Each structure stands twice: as C-alpha cells, then as structure tokens.
C-alpha cells in the first residue's frame, strides 16, 4: 500500500457554524463540527471514493500540489487528506 495526499479546503458555513471540507481534485465534500472532525470525515470519504473508483474502473486524478490549491483558495485554510491505497 502507498499513501497519497489530496489537498482539502476548509470552509466555515456561517449558517450552521460547521466546517465544509472540499477536495477539489476529486470534486467531493464533507462536513464536521470541527476541522479535526471534518478531516477525519474526509479521510473516510476519500478512502471510499478510491474503493468505488476501483470497483467501477474509474480513473482517479493525481493530487494537485498543495501550494497550487492554497493560491487558488487564498484566504481559506488548506491541509492534506492522507489515504492509503
């Protein structure tokens, strides 16, 4: 197994006061009450994404450089989601 990291953008929802976690390379999102909870949900979501992409033979894009995502999402907190595939 190898570990792969995808950038995740954290966006605070002003209405619910929860965090949305958006993974631009995979066009998927999750949410949580804290950044840590959102990151954990994102790790589970990305792992499931890879399971289904393998099952249905869907090509998965390579992750972008985190610096690229930070520059595109200036003003938002950006981190990495680590997943073993």
Prediction pTM value? 0.94
At residue 44, the pLDDT reads 97
**Length of the chain, in residues:** 85
In order of their start, the domains of the chain are 3-84 (3.30.160.250)
Q: 7-53 pLDDT, tens per residue? A: 999 999 999 999 999 999 999 999 999 999 999 999 999 999 999 99
Task: Reduce the secondary structure of 18-70 to three states and give it as a string.
Answer: CEEEEECCCCEEEEECCHHHHHHHHHHHHHHHHHHHHHCCCCCCCCCCHHHHH
Residue 85 banded pLDDT, cuts 50, 70, 90: confident
């Amino acid at each position: 197994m190898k570990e792969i990291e995808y950038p995740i953008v954290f966006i605070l929802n002003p209405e619910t006061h929860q965090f949305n976690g958006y993974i631009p390379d995979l066009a998927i999102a999750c949410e949580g009450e804290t950044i840590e909870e959102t990151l954990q949900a994102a790790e589970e979501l990305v792992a499931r994404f890879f399971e289904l992409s393998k099952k249905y033979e869907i090509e998965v894009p390579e992750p972008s450089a985190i610096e690229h995502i930070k520059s595109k999402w200036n003003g938002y907190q950006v981190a990495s989601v680590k997943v073993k595939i």
